Amino acid sequence: MILCAGEALIDMIPNAHGAYLPHVGGAVLNTAVALGRLGEPVGLITGLSSDPFGGMIADHLTASHVSTDHAVRSNRNTTLAFVHLDQGNATYTFYDDETATRNIQPVDIAAVPAGTEAMFFGGISLCNPPVADSLLDLALSQPEDRLVMADPNIRPGFVSDHDGYRARLTKLIERADIVKLSDDDIGWLVSDGDLDAKTQAVLNMGPKLLLLTEGGDGATAHLSNGTRVRVAAEKATVVDTVGAGDTFNAGCLDALRRAGALSPSDVAVLDEDTLTDMLTLAARAAAITVSRAGANPPWQTELD
């Protein structure tokens, strides 16, 4: 099983008339849903509210074959994210204080099952305590032979303590075997140098594989041993970009598991063909997501 740890929320997305309508979302939930739709055994560690939105989220996860056995259930409200679209590009305003996910404490999180192959961490749940510290503790407690992937999906406007956030991300990246960053993310994380210098600075922090996405300019896989593979973005008619990076994450994990390479030791020595196949699958899946409204990752049958 792959376990994803982070937020499940409701995206409030404007329709053609400007009215906001609720859609199940959250970066980490989207990755889990995409994995489930690709046929991977997957579960989600998140806060799950007893409010009506929590019911929507639970139903959505079940329909996409994502286990909710590891969810932390409470009576706290569900996080809301109001989505603002500008020519298909999304920005967000979050309402997160005292919510079901935000208030997760370390003691709330059940033990990770022994058969878990990989853990994925990311999203706004890494931004602010207490959940941010709870998830960092969980990541750092994973055994060395269990793969850890992280996608910070950095939202600077949502962070209450930038120094604390940077310190938290540094510790997570030092532990992670795979890190995915967008070009905007890496620009925020590393302030000096060109893109190559910033990439090397992140690799020097410890991950075996850095995945760098640049929107319509494609994606590049950088191994710590110097291997580099780039693929172009798949052509698509973009409706919006909500969930594109999350789907990309799932495509990478799915491809690695199918290649029998979902372990830290395997990731460290991936060959160019496997990296190319991984990036190609991830790009194809993300292209389908951007071609339709909201975070709606493809099913395996659509890729077939």
H/E element, 57: helix 52-63
Helical packing angle, 244-258 and 272-290, nearest 10°: 140
pTM: 0.95
Q: What would the pLDDT profile of 236-262 be if each residue is shown by its tens digit?
A: 888 877 889 999 999 999 999 999 999
Torsion of CA 151, 156, 158, 162, to 10 degrees: 100
Q: Where along the chain do its domains lie?
A: 2-303
Q: What is the rounded distance in angstroms from the CA atom of residue 248 to the CA atom of residue 244?
A: 6
Q: What would the pLDDT profile of 115-169 be if each residue is shown by its tens digit?
A: 999 999 999 999 999 999 999 999 999 999 999 999 999 988 889 899 999 999 9
For residue 271, count other CB atoms closer than 10 A to its CB: 13
| 11-25, 134-148, 173-187, 278-292: least confidently modelled range | 11-25
* Residue 88, pLDDT above cutoff 80: no
Q: What is the mean predicted confidence (pLDDT) over 58-63?
A: 98
Confidence category of residue 215, pLDDT binned at 50, 70, 90 = confident
* Average pLDDT in the chain: 94
Fold of 2-303: UDP-N-acetylmuramoyl-L-alanine:D-glutamate ligase (3.40.1190)
Which residue reads 């994973």 in tokens? 142
